[in-house]
Amino acid sequence: MTNQTIQVAIIMGSDSDLPIVEAIFPILDSFGVKFTKNVMSAHRTPHDVMELIKNSEENGCKVFIAAAGMAAHLAGAIAAHSTRPVIGIPIESGGMGGIDSLLSTAMMPPGVPVATVAVGKSGAKNSAILAVQILATSDDDLAKKLIEYKQNMRSEVLEKDKKLNS
């Protein structure tokens, strides 16, 4: 795989999702994973979503990350038109604290899976790590970086424990 290949396509249902989704960018950058970012609506631009999926796949995309609130159909629409893994980030919107988006993203029919992460920014961060984990199944360099990442997380927690108890 070349460094120029776009490995992850990030699609937001609205530009209002950007404050959540932007938590993904530095994580993917830190692993050297190339990505695109777009705003597309499953309901308002369905044909454009299909075209984006097709173009992304033709350009080497291996994983889609979709962020959407309210009805949150974007991840499912992508999964319906692709055989690539799709990770859905439910975005809090409306008056239900994101539970509506969570359920809409997670409750997919058999044969059309969407890996669903937590609502909001922690979910966005986890979507980036999950995408890297998927890519690392066929990329030894990424697998090594993931091991280092996990070791660094462990060290940070142990350091906090040490400070607490000193």
Structural domain includes residue 156: no
Strands 63-69 vs 86-91: parallel, antiparallel or unpaired: parallel
The total number of structural domains that make up the chain: 1
Structural domain includes residue 149: no
15-18 — which CB contacts under 8 Å span 24+ positions? 15/39, 16/69, 16/93, 17/67, 17/68, 17/69, 17/91
Query: What is d(CA 45, CA 90) in angstroms, rounded to the nearest whole number?
Result: 19
Tell me the per-residue pLDDT of 98-111, one tens digit each, with 9 for 90 and over: 999 999 999 999 99
pLDDT < 50: residue spans in the chain: 1-3
Which residue range is the domain that position 102 belongs to? Answer: 8-139
Paired with 89 in beta bridges are 67
Tell me the per-residue pLDDT of 145-158, one tens digit each, with 9 for 90 and over: 999 999 999 999 99
State the chain's maximal CA–CA distance in angstroms. 59
Structural domain includes residue 121: yes
Q: What is the pLDDT of residue 4?
A: 62
Structural domain includes residue 99: yes
Structural domain includes residue 50: yes
CATH at residue 86: 3.40.50.1970
